[in-house]
A and B are shown apart, each in its own frame.
Chain A
Amino acid sequence: MLVLSRKVGESLVISKDIEIIILESTGQTVKIGIKAPKRIKILRKELIEEVSIENIEAKVNLSDINIDYLIKSLIKD
């Protein structure tokens, strides 16, 4: 992993078209700005991890599923 020190207002460039700018730093929090082409997807890592965990927990055994019960719960709503 490359480790760099940056001051507020400084930035760094990845490839040619992605720029990461340090906007503000207060205590433990760093506010960064990212300039990148629209095709580059930027996601907070914890969100990816949370969705991965949710998918893993949502996995079902086909033999255990009681669809009728779920349908009944929807109708009740």
Chain B
Amino acid sequence: MDKELIITFVDGIYGFEHLNRFAFYKRQENENNPFNIMQSIEDPSVSFIVIPPFLLDQEYEIELEDSDIEGLDIKDESEVMVLSIVSVPKGENFFSVNFRSPIVFSMKSKLGKQIILEQSDYEIRHKVMLADN
């Protein structure tokens, strides 16, 4: 991924429909760090941790609908980036990863969207146990 990438979400993301532009970047350059930050340009106080879901489930796959391919102006599979939002609930021994509604964007068109997989068994909260401190 580029050092800093700005993606336009025409519809925002769910719960933040008014925020249309997000920057994606690594907080620390470390080869072992698969986590990116997704930060709103319009309201920098709105940030998320995101991770490629494939890193947690090698068989993870989604099928994009024609309307999404068109809407994001995707010409080739190689330009597509899929990321899942990570949630770290306070006081729990796990964090969760949203497999059910990934953030999808084109590295070329710089257009993105949060897609809800209606017919899918993927969980909104795919749990990963936290390491012991």
Q: Please, what's the 1-or-0 string for B1-41, where 1 marks a CB less than 8 Å from any CB in chain A?
A: 00000000000011110000000000110101111010100
Stretch at the interface among A5-13, A20-28, A45-53: A45-53
> Does more than half of chain A's interface fall in helix, strand or loop, or is it mixed?
helix
Min C-beta distance of A62 to chain B, whole Å: 5
Residue interface mask B102-120, A partner, CB < 8 A = 1: 0000000000001010100
Instruction: Please report the C-alpha to C-alpha distance between residue A39 and residue B47 in the assembled complex, in whole angstroms.
Output: 30
Residue of B15, B27, B48 touching A51 (CB-CB under 8 A): B15
Among B30, B34, B70, B131, which residue has the most Cβ atoms of chain A within 10 A? B131
Total residue contacts A-B, CB cutoff 8 A: 107
Task: Give the distance to chain A from B117, nearest Cβ to Cβ, in Å.
Answer: 9
Chain B: how many interface residues by the 8 Å CB criterion?
A: 43
Q: Is the CB of A69 within 8 A of B131?
A: yes
Residue A17 interfacial (CB < 8 Å): no
Cα of A55 to Cα of B125 in the assembled complex, Å: 11
- In order of increasing CB-CB distance, the 9 nearest A-B pairs are A52-B15, A58-B87, A55-B15, A39-B67, A52-B14, A73-B131, A72-B131, A51-B14, A51-B101
Chain A residues with Cβ below 8 Å from B129 are 73, 76-77
Interfacial residues, chain A to chain B (CB-CB below 8 A): 38-44, 47-48, 50-62, 65, 67, 69-77
* Given known contacts A60-B49, A74-B34, A41 and B67 CB-to-CB distance under 8 angstroms: yes
CB A66 to nearest CB in B, in angstroms, measures 9
What 15 new A-B contacts, CB under 8 Å, besides A55-B16, A60-B49? Answer: A43-B116, A47-B116, A48-B116, A51-B14, A51-B100, A51-B114, A54-B85, A54-B125, A55-B85, A58-B48, A58-B49, A58-B85, A67-B49, A70-B95, A74-B128
